[in-house]
Amino acid sequence: MLPSAFRMRRADEFASAIRKGRRAGRPTLVAHYSDRGDPSDPPRVGFVVSKAVGGAVVRNRVKRRLRDLMRHRLHALPRGSLLVVRANPQAASARSDQLAAELDVALDRLVGGRAPGRRPDPRAATDGQA
């Protein structure tokens, strides 16, 4: 379970992260990230799982899986940041390892060093061949 201090509950926090933050989309989820810049607050994470994902049992299972995955990734978020993870309908049938991999890619795009929307230049990579 995600610790209570790290859970986002207020609508204004969700709105701030979604409207003012950056976004990284993957087939099973979309992550919205906003850095409030107040280092005294812990990072806060919220989840959105709509009825398009499935019935109540399926939606709750997806939320539980995402909460558990984020519990192990809280260290990657800077203090004072907001993250909203929105599940796409494909999340209902995705395996946990697939959800974990896509969450890692989204977090790396948002929090890591690479600017969102920029793909690395494949010509810049050197593979030892001339």
Please give the angle made by the CA atoms of 26, 39 and 10, to the nearest 5 degrees. 60
Residue with the two structure tokens 């009825």: 51
Cα–Cα distance between 17 and 21 in angstroms, integer?
5
Reading the chain (130 residues) residue by residue, the pLDDT tens digits are 788 889 998 998 899 899 988 999 999 999 999 987 577 889 999 999 999 999 999 999 999 999 999 999 998 899 989 999 999 999 999 999 999 999 999 999 998 854 444 454 445 455 555 4
Question: How many angstroms separate the Cα of 122 from the Cα of each of 43, 101, 108, 126?
Answer: 34, 21, 18, 9
CATH number for the region 4-112 comes to: 3.30.230.10
Instruction: Report the pLDDT value the prediction gives residue 115, as an integer from 0 to 100.
Output: 45
Instruction: Report the pLDDT value the prediction gives residue 60, as an integer from 0 to 100.
Output: 97
Please indicate, yes or no, whether the overall pTM of this predicted structure exceeds 0.85.
Answer: no
What residue segments make up the domains of the chain, in order of their start?
A: 4-112
Residue pair 10/76 in contact (Cβ under 8 Å)? The answer is no
Instruction: Report the pLDDT value the prediction gives residue 123, as an integer from 0 to 100.
Output: 53
